[in-house]
Structure 1
Amino acid sequence: MFGYQIDGEVSLKLPELRDAETVFKLTDQSRQYLRKWLPWLDGTTSVEDTKNFIRAPLKDYAENKGMTAFVLFNGEICGTVSYNSIDWTNRAVHIGYWFGEPYQGHGIMTKVVKAMTDYAFKQLNMNRVEIRAATNNSKSRAILERLGFKEEGIIRQSEWLYDHFVDHVVYGMLASEWKTGKKPDIR
C-alpha cells in the first residue's frame, strides 16, 4: 500500500472507501471554488459518487495504469494528487491535483507536486512528467513555474467547463533537468 511522508505536516496515502464521506464534505465545501477549474463537480452530488471516484483509481493502481493519493495536512485530507496516467513505454506520467479552498496559500500543493515529480523520476524511473493547467489558473501555474517546469505550449479549447471551453498550458519536466538541479529547492 502506497504511503508517502513529505514532511512533518504533509503526507500522501492511497484512497480508501472509508474516506468517502470526508472527501465528499471537502468537495462540497469547496464546490464553488473548485468549479472554476474542474469539470466533474456536477457529477459529484453524494457520498456514493465519491465512493465511485475512489474505486476507479484503486483499479488503475492495481493494474499499474495510474495512482491517486489523498493529500493529508496535519492528518486531515485536504485534496488529491494523481498520476492520471502512467505511460510505461514512453516513461511518462501526467499529474493532476486539486485541494480544498481552506488549504490554499500554505505551500501544500507545491510540496506535493515536488514530491510526486521526485517519486516519478527516482522510484518509477520515468523520463517525463507532464502537468496541464488552464491558461487563466494563475495559482496552479505558479506552482509549476516555482518548481522549474517548462511551459511547452497551449492546447486550445482543451476542456469544457460547464458553459465554456478553456485553453490549457502544457508544462513538462524531464528527468535530466530534475537531476541537474534546474529547479528551485522548495521546502
Structure 2
Amino acid sequence: MVETLNQKAWLKDSYSNRKTGELNAYDSLFYQLSDTEKVSLIFPDEKYADDLFTIIDEERDRLKTFLPWASQMVNVSDEVKFLRYAKVKMQKQELFLLIILVNQQAVGMIDFHNFNQITKQAEVGYWLSEKYEKRGIMTKSLRWLMAYGFNSLKLKKIEIQVDKKNNNSLKIPRRLGFSEDKIIKNFAYYNGQHHDFVIFSQTK
C-alpha cells in the first residue's frame, strides 16, 4: 500500500479496492483479544461515528483531563465532521489514522500526525475507551503502527508526547522500549493550566 511518504495519493488504492475499509496491505490486521473478541484496525469511516461519540460523551470527564478536544465533541455530527476531515488529511499525506474495533464496535483510535517528509519522522496519538484499558489493546496496536511506520512509510523516527501526569499513557511507550528523551515544562496549555510533557522516541 504505502511505500514512502512522498508517494502521491497514498491511500487511493486502499479506499477504492476494499469495501470494508481494512488495510489491503495487511489482510491479517486483526488479533484475538479472547476466545470471543477480535480486535481490528480500520481506516476512518463515518458509520462508526455513533460508537465513537458515545464513548466520548460517556467518558468526557475522564478524556478531557488530557485530551482537550473531548470538550469540543458535543454531538454525533462533530464526530462525523472529524472523520471526514481525517480522510481528507490522509489523502494529503498529513495524517494516518486508524479506528480500533473490538468485534466491529469502535473503542478508540490511533494515528500518525505531524509528518516531516524531510527528516522522515512523525508523532503518534492514541485514545481508548476506559472499558477496554489494561487489556493490551493499545500496546499491540502501537506495536503494529510502529512496524508499519518504519517498514512501509519508511519513517526514521517516531515520537510520542505524553502529559507527565497521564500515567496510563506513559506506560505504553515505556513498555515498547521507547527512549525517554526529555521532559518539557509548560509544554501545553489546556484546562486552564500549563502541563509538563514527557517526550518519547524510537528510531530505526
Question: Which TM-score applies when normalising by structure 1?
Answer: 0.89
1:151 is matched with: 180
- The counterpart of 1:107, out of the listed 123, 131, 136, is 136
1:93–1:126 Cα contact (<8 Å) kept: yes
Cα distance, 1:152 vs structure 2:
0.5
1:57 aligns with 2:86: yes
Within 5 Å, give how 1:38-187 maps onto structure 2.
38-175=67-204
Quote the Cα distance in structure 1 between the aligned partners of 2:160 and 2:174. Answer: 11
Could you list the runs of 5+ residues in structure 1 that have no partner in the other structure?
176-187
2:59 is matched with: 30
2:123–2:160 Cα contact (<8 Å) kept: yes
Q: Which amino acid aligns with 2:89?
A: D
Q: Which amino acid aligns with 1:161?
A: Y
C-alpha root-mean-square deviation of aligned residues, in Å? 1.3
Q: The residue matched to 1:171 in structure 2 has which SS?
A: strand
2:48–2:105 Cα contact (<8 Å) kept: no
Q: Out of 128-137 and 27-36, give the one that drifted further.
A: 27-36
Cα distance, 1:73 vs structure 2:
2.0
Quote the Cα distance in structure 1 between the aligned partners of 2:191 and 2:60. Answer: 13
Quote the Cα distance in structure 2 between the aligned partners of 1:155 and 1:129. Answer: 18
Cα distance, 1:161 vs structure 2:
2.5
Q: The residue matched to 1:129 in structure 2 has which SS?
A: strand
Question: Which TM-score applies when normalising by structure 2?
Answer: 0.81
Quote the Cα distance in structure 2 between the aligned partners of 1:10 and 1:122. Answer: 22
- Could you list the per-position Cα deviations for residues 29-58 of structure 1 after superposition, in whole angstroms to 9, with x for gaps in the alignment? 111111221011221100111112112211
Q: The residue matched to 2:88 in structure 1 has which SS?
A: helix
Cα distance, 1:150 vs structure 2:
0.3
Structure 1 residue runs of 4 or more that deviate by more than 3 Å after TM superposition: none
Identity of aligned residues (%): 27
Number of residues of Structure 1 aligned to a counterpart in Structure 2: 175
1:7 aligns with 2:36: no
Quote the Cα distance in structure 2 between the aligned partners of 1:61 and 1:15. Answer: 10
Quote the Cα distance in structure 1 between the aligned partners of 2:95 and 2:134. Answer: 28
Q: Which amino acid aligns with 2:85?
A: A
Q: Which amino acid aligns with 1:62?
A: Q
Larger Rg: 2
Q: The residue matched to 1:159 in structure 2 has which SS?
A: strand
Quote the Cα distance in structure 2 between the aligned partners of 1:104 and 1:160. Answer: 26
Quote the Cα distance in structure 2 between the aligned partners of 1:31 and 1:113. Answer: 23
1:65–1:87 Cα contact (<8 Å) kept: no
